[in-house]
Amino acid sequence: MNKTLSKIIKFAALGIFCAFGVLLANYYYQFKDSADKLFSELAITVFMDKACKDGAEVRGAIEKLGFVRVGEYVPSDQAYAKAAEKNPFLKEISVPGDAGAFQSYVKIFPSQAPDDPYLASVLDAVSRIEGVDEIVFDSKLFKKYADMENVLYFYGIASAVFVLAVFMLFIMRSIIFAVEKEENTRKLVANIAAYLAAASAGFLGLWSACVFMQFPLFIGRGQAAVFMIIMLTAALGVVFKN
């Protein structure tokens, strides 16, 4: 009786661990999606000197740098209309001559994680191009993205170390268990199958609860993580087998 109860508790614990692991992975991928969306919003606006005769040439020079993505180029004769389109209130407060006071500009975007050295290199290289007058960007937005990347990097490394440690222990435990007795190999396979079933049940229980509660559970690239967590849970079952 006690042995049966112990097995039930163990299988339940494995199911709960799997569900908890999936929830953590779900949070990680949601956080990563937010970081990716923020990355797409990291724009640097390069204003050109009013005396610059060929803004398109400046845009081409920036593109030749190779370490930024060059986006929209807006010449000076279209800059006011573009600004008024995004900010209609400008039409109400503008005075004659405002339409000609706007500079040409081009939007550029980082092609990699914009840490401080990379950002400093971009600003230095772009500022050296002839015809560039001013470079404007939201430093707080860039700092927020850098902080998010640091969090993702930390949890990515911690997760990789944990998974590697568990599977190394699993291999060692399996070898020792199989060497003790010949029939242990069949028991090991049966145990792994049972642990996989317990972990899968834990995930299905969580998935059903999320559907019922209309809680967004990650899909797409997160599906691979689900299978990894199920296998990791089964490996833990072997590691902690009495």
Q: What is the pLDDT of residues 10-29, one digit of tens each?
A: 889 999 999 999 999 888 98
* Confidence at residue 231, expressed as pLDDT on a 0 to 100 scale: 92
At 159 the pLDDT is 92
Q: What is the mean pLDDT of residues 106-133?
A: 89
The reported pLDDT for the residue numbered 235 is 92
pTM: 0.79
**Domain spans of the chain, in order of start:** 2-37+145-239, 43-113
Count CA atoms within 13 Å of residue 169 on its CB side: 16
Fold classified for 43-113:
Alpha-Beta Plaits (3.30.70)
d(CA 238, CA 172): 10
pLDDT value at residue 222: 58
pLDDT at 67: 85
Q: Lowest mean pLDDT of 159-163, 180-184, 207-211, name the range.
A: 180-184
- Enumerate the β-bridge partners of residue 48: 132
Sheet holding 105-110, edge to edge: 68-74, 105-110, 44-48, 132-137
Percent of the chain with pLDDT over 90: 36
Task: Name the most confidently modeled range: 5-9, 86-90, 135-139.
Answer: 135-139
SS3 per residue for the chain: CHHHHHHHHHHHHHHHHHHHHHHHHHHHHHHHHHHHHHHHCCCEEEEECCCCCCHHHHHHHHHHCCCEEEEEEECHHHHHHHHHHHCCHHHHHCCCCHHHCCCCEEEEEECCCCCHHHHHHHHHHHHCCCCEEEEEECHHHHHHHHHHHHHHHHHHHHHHHHHHHHHHHHHHHHHHHHHHCCCHHHHHHHHHHHHHHHHHHHHHHHHHHHHHHCCCCCCCCHHHHHHHHHHHHHHHHHHCCC
| pLDDT band for position 115 (cuts 50, 70, 90) | confident
Q: Which residues contact 81 (CB under 8 A, 6 or more apart)?
A: 99
Question: What is the pLDDT at residue 177?
Answer: 80
Q: Which long-range contacts (CB under 8 A, 24 or more apart) does 138-141 make?
A: 141/38, 141/41, 141/42
Q: Is the pLDDT of residue 91 over 50?
A: no
Q: Are 166 and 235 in contact (CB under 8 A)?
A: yes
For the segment 199-227, the average pLDDT, to the nearest whole number, is 82
pLDDT of 26-49, one tens digit each? 889 889 989 999 998 899 999 888
- Tokens 């967590």, located at residue: 229
Q: Considering only 55-69, 74-88, 153-167, 193-207, which range has the smallest mean pLDDT?
A: 74-88
- Rg of the chain (C-alpha set): 28
119 CB contacts (<8 Å, ≥6 apart)?
110, 142
